[in-house]
Amino acid sequence: MKISVSLISKLVVLVLVFTIYIFLSLVIEYEVQDVSSTIINESSFTSINPSILINTTKVSNCIPQDTTNNNGSNNSTALLKTESNKTNEANINNETTGICKILRVSDSISCAEYNGNRTEIPCESNDSDEDGLKIDNFGDNGHLLADTRFDQQYSFELNDPVGQDKKFRVTMDFDKHTQSENNDINSPRLEIVREDSEGVPDMSAAKNQEIIWHGNIHEYFKEPKDKFENETYISLQFNTGRHGSNDPDEERGFGILFDVSGSSNPNLLEYRDDGKYVKYDFNTTKELAQDSFIFHQLDKKGNPIFNNNLTNKENVELKVRTFLTDNDTRMVETFIDNGSGKEIPYWTLNNLSKLKEQEDVDDQNGFMETINQGSGYVIARTDNIDTRPSSFKSFSFDL
Tens of pLDDT, residue by residue over 210-236, are: 898 989 999 999 888 888 888 899 999
**256 close to 210: Cβ distance less than 8 angstroms:** no
Coil vs helix vs strand at 149: helix
d(CA 240, CA 135): 32
The pLDDT assigned to 170 comes to 82
Give the mean pLDDT of the chain.
73
Q: How confident is the model at residue 296 (pLDDT cuts 50, 70, 90)?
A: very high
d(CA 102, CA 174): 27
d(CA 170, CA 386): 21
d(CA 181, CA 179): 6
Of 221, 245, 217, 230, the residue nearest 380 (C-alpha): 217
Q: What is the count of structural domains for the chain?
A: 1
Judged against a pLDDT cut of 70, whether residue 80 lies above it is answered with no
Taking the CB of residue 345, how many other CB atoms lie within 10 A of it? 20
pTM of the model: 0.76
Q: Which of 244-258, 315-329, 384-398 has the lowest mean pLDDT?
A: 384-398
Which domain, by its residues, includes 188? 5-396
The pLDDT assigned to 232 comes to 93
Of 349, 197, 368, the residue nearest 273 (C-alpha): 368
Pairing status of strand 385-396 against strand 344-349: unpaired
User: CA angle, 115 as apex, 209 and 132 as ends, to 5°?
Assistant: 80
Judged against a pLDDT cut of 50, whether residue 358 lies above it is answered with yes
Rg (CA), the chain: 21
**260 close to 311: Cβ distance less than 8 angstroms:** yes
